[in-house]
Structure 1
Amino acid sequence: MFEDLVQSLKEAKAITKGEIQPSRRFTVEAPDVRTLREKTGLSQAEFAGLMRVSIKTLQNWEQHRRKPTGPAAALLHVVAKAPDVVIQSLHIRQ
Structure 2
Amino acid sequence: MEEREILASNWAFDWAPNKGNIVISDPYIVAAMAKSKNHTAHNQSYKAHKNGIKKPRRHSKTSTKGMDPKFLRNQRYARKHNNQKDGSGSEQE
Question: Where on the TM-score scale, by shorter chain, does this alignment land: which range?
Answer: under 0.3
TM-score after normalising by structure 2: 0.20
TM-score after normalising by structure 1: 0.20
* Structure with the greater alpha carbon radius of gyration: 2
More strand by share: 2
